[in-house]
Structure 1
């Protein structure tokens, strides 16, 4: 089906344009011809043959998603209008929320405590309504929180850039009292937001959702997720064993976040107590003190659900998306890996001991030796606060060329020979410009900005392996270092196919990090953006800020660059 279509679903919902997709389906903007309004329609994408058990479980799960969401009556919970059976599968019709996800917003930098509290207050209200209806969401994360535009009066009075906050995607919600629809051992969730009791095989209860809310609040105010690590295995170990650093930018939200991230679910504040703190911080009131006195928790469900709408992270060989339990026992806490000086290679090589470590962690998580399906989390990086302010300038300084304007702290370089516009923090010097020439087998053009410590490079390739997964494998399998681990995330860039890679590697005692974005335009133009930096130093924060800021401002391809050159400012 094309990006724009006119297919009629259920005799009344005419599909207009695709607005999102995930592992289990595509979301369309559609027009309800019966009542004359725009709606969102979720088209299912299910694995296997319709007669297979897995396919039937997934279809049942979609029915259950609609029932679960429809039972939650709260302004911050997405409203379900209808469920239409088409081609033997349930298409879910829901309200169309105009705006952007919290995940998109956090890409531009962290939020103030009051703004975070306002969002958290809405989310915890939706969770409380769900828990009261016997429903556990089980996938609370920034990507599932949508923020719509505010009414004009609200925007003018409070300077608030967003209005309604909506918790979406009850697709893996567990409805208490219903039979589990998944096979034994199946599990789903966005890894870094999953509570430790779920990792230990105890299932999900209301307190598990509140843990996920705590991680969300932490990421919102600090700009990075406290348990995210370079590999699936080390992330699992961090959730089970590591205490997160004290939030430094949370203000009055700090104590609540710390309490929500208690390993013992009985010591976490419930939804009502959390809501009281969040409302007080949002409104500037005196913040109530919440003690960690053990409370009586609702027993968690023991079921595990089928895969949901998440991006898949690969840790290991290119085809690897699962971790299988081989041994049991609690794993040792592994410190977050940390790589490096700028290195102009890219790639991945596994630590020799990593497979055994993965087995021990998976054994602790899945006590019965089940298989993890659809484990995923965003392969991004801690977002530096400077990213949103545009002040991530390197230590070295250089004057911008008169032909390279500087806007909001970023100098805009038009790379005509590459059909690209690349922005770098003001003062970042040009280190190298290279054209491999037509005599080479795979000619390419490269430009590098930075200093001895952090380097940003953009390459236009004339020929790369296809599809993009093969290209990603090529650039992440060339390491000859002591060890290397890579996270890869399929994504899009201005509508183009893209892949984001985040590699940490070691050379002797030194550790480094390289972040990369691969882009394939509609005209089959190939662009490779990367930043090399040392790991575990202040320069890593500067490098990640430079990478994210460069992506936000990057223009590539003859079509896009031509429009900018002839028309508006880049």
Structure 2
């Protein structure tokens, strides 16, 4: 049984990452009795509930937001949840999930939706690919819901198999409008920020040009390709190479799409103007679903036989939603590295995703003299994984080096001058002082990480099976902190640092300096990397720590080089490194 998207529900499942059973039996809004937790994600828990007023079962999304309610980031996410309900309620179509009610509890909106009994397309595809006619039938329902959304000015922005529910009697439901953009409404996010699932994000969104109806049709094209072929056309082994594939590479020509093939080729055109519109897509899908002759469509060059995804048929490409902050990402800015997937559950519009796997060996090249600094935000790939009990999480999970994850973020640094931003430097924020740091106990990582108070923990990932374990923090600025643990070190501290350096060298000119050191009494290697991408400089500070029982920790801070943020980032790195406490038990 599923309901909604990134909040994650599966038959008999749910996961251990949401609210506990303490809320079971709670009466919400005076009428909705919570009876069973059916899924959870980073921003909420989805409950099966009984509407005691009309005596019917419903799904209720209980929001869970990080940070202090007074913080701007907290308020922005709360506003996004309100908008999810408003957006979804405006879409009137049998294949769009119905929102019945919004109840304010604990100062946050609890969203009451129809309960869809069935499973997600993501779960179905884990058992194997679908026939073209069945894929077309599902696509026809989804494109109908998208047409209804577009007609009221809403772009879904997160069309993916985990957000497509297959209910009883052949019903298909598109859910989770939680990151939908209401065209014409002022953006809630900061300049260049967007949310979505990496492998389903259209290239124009990657390039910072915003989302429109053609972006949803691109995502639907990726979904249909994955449905008939059994794997995502843009799946690679790291985030960076996934970005590169989306922006510049042609996917492998579909082999099992049959009559859907020509439509998929056109839907995956890099230029939005070259894609078919919703009417053309509808007509073609209807023809394939019903076995009719295909309508004629404009000719376009066939897809090349490009790089085959890394030899895997499992469909975990849908297991993660990604938030990227950037402006002006170009094909040239993405490096040929790799990708990670994501997993979804019902009704919680929450970022999730997979983490990349680094490439071998390092080469350090000289870095040109820094250019005069401007205020820039690096492309920050924020990955958050839902721990779904049934869905495979993070197929592209970093197994041999977590230092790649922000490769996507660093792969293309924000080009603010293209937006006409001012060259003036902002007033730097006060440096962190010793008395405004907080200790964060990371029980699963067996460590205590201290950071300045403004840093918010927004993502955790991994377990004993899915290595590495990871916790990420940021303060909604240009600096990101992560602590990563491998229960068994994949290589030496120096070897691990060199694995990461190879990633940075893929962007362009780079240099890395290695220093032997100790952290909390353990052997360690510190790596200081600077690399250039599109004429901008990025600095990555990381320290690899090997414990006596062969665990490997990595503390990493990413920052823009040559800006006031670099000084703050170095202060954060040094303070976090010197305060890090590793459990010796």
2:399 aligned with 1:380? no
Work out whether 1:64 is the aligned partner of 2:83: yes
Matched, 1:42 2:61: yes
Determine if contact 1:190/1:376 at 8 Å carries over to the other structure. Answer: no
What is the deviation of 1:231?
A: 1.2
2:199, 2:385 → 1: CA distance? 8
Structure-to-structure mapping, 1:112-131, within 5 angstroms: 112-131=131-150
Q: Give the Cα separation in 2 of the matches to 1:232 and 1:336.
A: 4
Alpha-carbon distance between aligned partners in 1 of 2:297 and 2:49, rounded to the nearest angstrom: 45
Is contact 1:31-1:37 (8 Å) kept? yes
TM-score normalised according to structure 1 size: 0.56
Question: Counterparts of 1:139-178 in structure 2 under 5 Å?
Answer: 139-150=158-169, 163-178=170-185
**CA-atom RMSD, angstroms?**
3.7
- Structure 2 length-normalised TM: 0.55
Q: How many angstroms apart in 1 are the aligned matches of 2:136 and 2:161?
A: 14
Identify the residue that residue 244 of structure 2 maps to in structure 1: 237
| Contact preservation (8 Å) 2:42, 2:384 | no
Task: Give a deviation string over 1:33-64, Cα, whole Å, max 9, x none.
Answer: 01100000011111211111111111111111
The answer on whether the counterparts of 1:68 and 1:135 sit within 8 Å (CA) in structure 2 is yes
Deviation at 1:26, TM superposition (A): 1.1
Residues 467/134 of structure 1: CA separation in 2 closer, same or farther (3 Å cut): closer
Q: Residue 475 of structure 1: CA displacement?
A: 4.3
Distance 1:257 1:476 in 2: 43
* 2:107 paired with 1:88: yes
Show CA shifts across 1:237-271 (max 9, x none): 11001000110000000000110000000010111
Q: Does residue 237 of structure 2 align to residue 219 of structure 1?
A: no
- 1:274 and 2:289 matched: no
Conserved 8 A contact 2:120-2:164: yes
In structure 2, distance between residues paired with 1:287 and 1:110: 22
Q: CA deviation at 1:185?
A: 3.3
Aligned to 1:106: 125
Structure 2 CA distance for partners of 1:354 and 1:189, relative to 1, 3 Å: farther
Which of 28, 41, 53 is the matching residue for 1:9?
A: 28
- For the 8 Å contact 1:191–1:376, the answer to whether it is kept is no
Q: CA deviation at 1:5?
A: 0.8
Q: CA deviation at 1:313?
A: 8.2
**Secondary structure of residue in 2 paired with 1:14:** strand
1:19 and 2:38 matched: yes
Aligned match of 1:478: 491
Are the aligned partners of 2:470 and 2:484 in contact in 1 as well (CA < 8 Å)?
Answer: yes
Cα shift at 1:464 = 13
Q: 1:86 deviation in Å? A: 0.3
Question: 1:352–1:54: structure 2 CA closer, same or farther, 3 Å change rule?
Answer: farther
Q: CA deviation digits over 1:139-179, x for unaligned, max 9?
A: 000000000121xxxxxxxxxxxx10000000000111211
Residue equivalent to 1:317: none
* C-alpha distance in structure 1 between counterparts of 2:214 and 2:379, whole Å: 23
Superposed CA offset, 1:362-385 (max 9, x none): xxxx9964544447796337xxxx
Which residue is equivalent to 1:132? 151
Answer whether contact 2:244 2:331 (CA < 8 A) is retained. no
1:198 corresponding residue in structure 2: 205
Matching of residue 253 in structure 1 with residue 253 in structure 2? no
| 8 Å Cα contact 1:189/1:375 also seen in 2 | no
Deviations 1:400-449 (CA, angstroms, capped at 9, x unpaired) = xxxxxxxxxxxxxxxxxxxxxxxxxxxxxxxxxxxxxxxxxxxxxxxxxx
Q: Within the alignment, does 1:74 sit opposite 2:93 as a pair? A: yes
Shift in Å, 1:323: 8.1
For 1:465 and 1:279, how far apart are their aligned partners in 2?
43
Find the partner of 1:53 among 59, 68, 72: 72
Closer, same or farther: CA 260–34 of 1 in aligned 2, 3 Å: same
1:189 alignment counterpart: 196
Secondary structure, counterpart of 1:330 in structure 2? helix
Q: Would you say the 8 A contact 2:25–2:34 is kept in 1?
A: yes
Give the CA deviation at 1:187.
2.0
CA distance in structure 2 between the partners assigned to 1:182 and 1:149 by the alignment: 37
Secondary structure at the aligned position of 1:187 is classed as: strand
> 1:331 aligned to 2:338?
no
1:349–1:214: structure 2 CA closer, same or farther, 3 Å change rule? closer
Q: State whether residues 153 and 182 of structure 2, in contact with CA within 8 Å, keep that contact through their aligned partners in structure 1.
A: yes
3-state SS of paired residue (1:67): helix
- 1:2 is displaced (CA, Å) by 3.1
Aligned pair count reads 355
Cα distance 1:349–1:172, how it changes in 2: closer, same or farther (>3 A)? Answer: closer
The alpha-carbon distance between structure 1 residues 476 and 15, as it changes in their structure 2 partners (threshold 3 A), is farther
For residue 62 of structure 2, give the secondary structure of its aligned residue in structure 1.
strand
* 1:247–1:466 distance in 2 versus 1, CA, 3 Å: closer
State the Cα distance separating 1:472 from its structure 2 match. Answer: 6.7
Runs of 5+ unmatched residues, structure 2: 1-18, 301-317, 340-355, 366-374, 387-392, 397-463, 472-482, 504-585
Cα distance, 1:292–1:87 mapped onto 2, change above 3 Å: farther
User: How do 1:301-450 and structure 2 match up within 5 A?
Assistant: 330-331=332-333, 334=336, 351=360, 369=378, 371-374=380-383, 379-380=394-395
- Seen in structure 2, the aligned counterparts of structure 1 residues 231 and 67 have a Cα distance that, compared at 3 Å, is same
Q: Return the alpha-carbon distance in structure 2 between the equivalents of residues 13 and 126 of structure 1.
A: 27
